[in-house]
Amino acid sequence: MENGILKLDSKEGKKLGFTSNKFYPHSYLWIKGDTIFISFIASKKEGKGYFIRLLKKIEKVFSKIIVPTPTNRMTKILRKRGFVLTNLHNGDDCFKAMTKGLVVQNDEIQENGIGFLETVDLP
């Protein structure tokens, strides 16, 4: 898949089930190599498996998944599926993300252009 924003209802989006009948328009996916960012995603009907089905397809294609500034609900859903809460540093910015498949090594992280990572101990 091409780098950049993957829009709802795009050809590639449809392959993943990322469609406007399931998700609100401010939801977006952003691809960089084997990494995908899932941002501001919101299901039109919660608890029907829309997000889980999308995630399962994403996991088949991308080895690294980042969900920046997750809500509590999102954190709970992802924790059950092997994601860890991670601090992402980008210059002076620092934000939390639920991540899967990231390796905390400086050279790899710089290659991804997202600063360095640090896994946070969960309560």
Ligand X SMILES: CC(C)(COP(=O)(O)OP(=O)(O)OC[C@H]1O[C@@H](n2cnc3c(N)ncnc32)[C@H](O)[C@@H]1OP(=O)(O)O)[C@@H](O)C(=O)NCCC(=O)NCCS
Q: Does 48 bind ligand X (CB under 6 A)?
A: yes
Query: Which residue lies nearer to ligand X by CB, 81 or 111?
Result: 81
The gap from C-alpha 7 to its chain's centroid, in whole angstroms, comes to 14
CA atoms lying within 13 Å on the CB side of residue 88: 24
Single out the segment in contact with ligand X by CB under 6 A; choices: 8-16, 73-81, 85-93, 100-108: 73-81
Residue with tokens 């995630």: 55
**Residues contacting 25, CB < 8 A, separation 6+:** 8
Give the residue, chosen from 61, 77, 84, 85, that forms a contact with ligand X under the rule CB under 6 A.
77
- Contact residues: ligand X, CB under 6 A: 40-43, 46-52, 67, 70-71, 73-74, 77, 80
